[in-house]
A and B are shown apart, each in its own frame.
Chain A
């Protein structure tokens, strides 16, 4: 692994790890049992991807449990709190469409991440399908569910510009990726009778610096909970 390949594996590994942890927070709290199981399964897929990616960089446990906030390279989108169920679905929709497009490209190119991308993209197809089905159901549902889904896609919109910031070590046409993402997103939101949010998707005060190690307020608290056990009981195992 070269240094740049390491940087890419770290960025993508952190995305998967952090989103996996956020989804895990739903365990026991999802609206219905099937959804509890679904979110936990998606979290498990992401955790598996994170383990493979972080193991390319170093010791997976040290990387997950002993790094400080500023050393994480995940997108700010994935660290956003779960919010209500609509927020979780909007975050899933934005991320899974991006991940499927990106991993699809990585899978068809020769590189250090080809194998894991080819494996993961098949799992992500189900994540995207899950997010799209819920977006349709909530957007085109009751007045209340429509309002909440619209509020969620609006609220997370400003974190989506960062998805297309070039990642060191990934040979990707980011503009083309962004265009494909927007096309897919627009089609789903329109089918769900939702309005594609207006306004900038990046820039502003902080949105879009996760890849540089700058994170939003809630991320520190999430890490504290995620790392607490490992830090309190070094070397503990099942």
Chain B
């Protein structure tokens, strides 16, 4: 099954390169939501995807985008299944993903330690001017995964990918 493994790695790279539908600067691989790609038969592939939030509507767009990419590469039957366990965490976002988020103007999440409640004290850096003097406007923002903050130094409001 050496070829299968090689094929799986190739297909995973393809599925992983699909951009997030709501944050197109990061890929699904960088976001850490792609859990596995298995070839289950000739022309048959199962892709495991985990949602960031249980109700995140973007997962449907992710599913059809993955199906399309794999169909275009000759896979006849693509089945994208949703897995919940282990639960996705913002710690699953790669270093490259964090860098791209910041570059796009979204403050990346801070790292969480297990068992720690919602982090409140560590400062979030303004993605525009770099100041750490920022304030929380609302824990809920334009998408389920973001909080709304404002920079006290440059006065610019910005999104923060909140820790989960």
Contact = CB atoms under 8 A, between A and B. Distances in A.
Contacts of B57: 44
A47 interface: yes
Nearest to A43: B55
B51 interface: yes
Contact of B54 (A42, A45, A129): A45
A122 B164 contact: yes
Contact of A42 (B56, B140, B142, B162): B140
Contacts of B13: none
Interface in B131-162: 137-142, 144, 148, 162
Contact of B87 (A38, A45, A49, A118): A118
Contacts of A37: 138, 140-142, 148
B96 to A, nearest CB: 24
Nearest to B50: A119
Given A52-B84, A114-B85, A123 B51 contact: no
A45 B85 contact: no
B55 A119 contact: no
Given A41-B144, A45-B144, A48-B54, A119 B85 contact: yes
Interface in A59-87: none
Contacts of A118: 84-87
Contact of A123 (B53, B138, B141): B53
16 contacts: A34-B148, A38-B138, A42-B140, A44-B144, A45-B55, A48-B51, A48-B55, A49-B54, A51-B54, A52-B54, A115-B84, A116-B84, A119-B84, A119-B85, A119-B88, A122-B89
A48 B56 contact: yes
Interface in A111-155: 114-116, 118-120, 122-123, 125-126, 129-130
Interface in B54-82: 54-57
B77 to A, nearest CB: 23
A51 B53 CA distance: 12
Main secondary structure of the interface of B (DSSP, over half): loop
What interface size band does chain A fall in?
A: 20 to 34
A48 B144 CA distance: 11
What interface size band does chain B fall in?
A: 20 to 34
Nearest to A114: B85
B54 A126 contact: no
Given A37-B141, A122-B164, A44 B118 contact: no
A46 interface: yes
The 3 closest A-B pairs by CB, nearest first: A48-B55, A48-B54, A115-B85
Contacts of A40: 140
Contacts of B41: none
Nearest to B88: A119
B117 interface: yes
B53 to A, nearest CB: 6
A24 to B, nearest CB: 12
Nearest to A130: B139
A193 B53 CA distance: 34
